[in-house]
A and B are shown apart, each in its own frame.
Chain A
């Protein structure tokens, strides 16, 4: 088994602030993902990465940057936090892509509130 940890668990920011969220996984999975989930809504893909130093845009990449520093970690940066923004950011990982879909395992999430 393995685990995905996300830090911080709660993040409170100010409008215009640059905020960084971190994700670590010890599954040794190749692919990692960042999703945004608004209250009671579905998951929207922000960025994903199929290997170290790879970065692929999702549908919601505008306003975000990401970095896959090493296989086990994937960080997400909100480049300029929007006032009254509230959402949960979920990190996920899955085994080797290789054209064969496999289960995505999700972390516990980071809850962002922008004042």
Chain B
């Protein structure tokens, strides 16, 4: 089936620095790209999303970039805090007339103080 590749799988940064996670997708018809944050023992929660009619979206310290030509999108967390430590998942819509999202394998982000 369709795949979404997410890298890196593990990311360690110092508090106050930036963290970047990159995803690539296969289906050129994908038009919706959400990012979910999952803290240990918790369920995933949507933190930011972008649709294909945009190239950039920012919500506070979160920035998402979308390059439709390259079929890549990325999450950038500026000024990271220990509370940003969690698993992050990207996802891409699977157009084929369905309501499916295809999730990446996840990135474990650790922010150390």
Contact = CB atoms under 8 A, between A and B. Distances in A.
Contacts of B6: 42
Given A56-B98, A101-B31, A101-B93, A43 B103 contact: yes
A103 B49 contact: yes
A42 B89 contact: yes
B71 interface: no
A35 B38 CA distance: 14
A76 interface: no
Interface string A20-37: 000000000001000100
Contacts of A45: 100-102
Contacts of B44: 43, 90, 106
Contacts of B87: 40
Nearest to A96: B99
A105 to B, nearest CB: 8
A90 B34 CA distance: 17
A41 B103 CA distance: 10
A96 B108 CA distance: 31
B43 A109 contact: yes
Interface in A90-115: 90, 94, 97, 101, 103-104, 106-109
A74 interface: no
B43 A43 contact: no
Nearest to B43: A106
Contacts of B104: 42
A104 B31 CA distance: 16
A97 B97 CA distance: 10
Given A48-B100, A101-B31, A103-B49, A42 B43 contact: no
9 contacts: A31-B99, A43-B103, A45-B100, A48-B100, A56-B98, A58-B100, A59-B1, A97-B99, A107-B43
